Amino acid sequence: MNNTPAELTVAVAGATGAVGRSMLKTLEARAFPASRVVALASSRSAGSKLPFKDTELTVRELTRNSFDGVDLALFSAGGECSRDFAPHAVAAGCVVVDNSNAWRMDERCPLVVPEVNPQALEEHNGIIGNPNCSTIQMVVALKPLHDAASITRVVVSTYQAVSGSGQKAVDELESQVRRMFNMQEPEAKVYPHRIAFNCLPQIDVFMPNGYTREEMKMTLETVKIMGDPSIKVTATTVRVPVFYGHSESVNIETRKKLSAKEARAILSRAPGVQVADNPELKIYPMPIDAAGEYEVFVGRIREDESIANGLNLWVVADNILKGAALNAVQISELLLEKNLLRVKNPRLFLQDA
């Protein structure tokens, strides 16, 4: 990182949430070269302490004036908060990597997965979108196959952990399991139905077309990240009673024939991918193995015998790490590496605030 400013100040907005805490841990674990790190959150959390390196950070209240003197901000405070505060961060000369859905499909903002489309950062205007967790892990696995054989269609079904809904959902799953083992009626507050020992074919709200917002995120974001509008994507997203780690069953159709052996070899060389695929030895990706890991794990690689050029994949990753915090930090590392930590037009987004 030869382009690191002499004094680099990084802020984490939404620092007390699960992803915010993971961002701080990831910055520390990857020795991100910040001379100062600022933890920002709502007024309720102001004054609380968060561990960082060999010290503690005192959480400050997130306001529109929080970004004076800040070079880079990682946002994980929700879409409404990002729409309100990110434009003011940019106006202060701060580059924002945003984990919400507020800016992902905005044409002014690149949507980046470093293993897939790092070149998209070159034209950023101050806000960079961190994609949806389920989209990130899928495109990391798909990009090398697309380069080799040109994907025309993707059919994906997801099995998503409750941590994707935040700490309250993690607590609710644990509480429901305990209550059921004690012959008590479980309470459902985070989700519309009980999640313990159940699967919910609804993530986020339903749209007029019958798909959920999560399903449409995967559809639209995949096309934007892959940079190929000819790719057709359809998704069914399901919440499952797993604490950490999203799993996906992905079926792809390609223009060029790829055997399972060829796909396995391509993925074995792909950045950010770890192949775990030996059915005879019962080796395949599982969320319990992906939790806490940086890689996207791919297994159950096999040809779809119902079509001429099709493959089935099973893709698993830690939704809090690669699906959020790690990807945001990797984007930040690229910004430094490419000397792109600058804002071209500080007032570009103020009209949106």
Cα 79 to the center of its chain, rounded Å: 14
Catalytic residue list contains 109:
no
Measured distance CA(67)–CA(59) in Å, rounded: 14
Measured distance CA(190)–CA(165) in Å, rounded: 8
Contact 31, 333 (CB under 8 A): no
Strands 72-75 and 95-98: parallel
> Which position among 109, 124, 133, 146 bears the catalytic label?
133
Q: How many residues does the chain have?
A: 353
Q: What angle do CA 18, 239, 172 make, to 5 degrees?
A: 55
Q: Specify the residue for token string 């949507």.
A: 111
- Helix locations, the chain, DSSP H: 18-29, 79-91, 133-149, 167-181, 213-226, 260-268, 287-290, 326-337
Count other C-beta atoms under 10 Å from residue 26's C-beta.
Answer: 23
220: left (phi over 0), alpha (psi -120 to 50) or beta: alpha
Report the sign of the C-alpha dihedral through residues 227, 228, 229, 234, in that order.
negative
User: Two tokens at 304?
Assistant: 């779809």
Measured distance CA(60)–CA(77) in Å, rounded: 14
User: Two tokens at 105?
Assistant: 């499909």
Catalytic residue list contains 133:
yes
**Which residues are identified as catalytic?**
133, 246
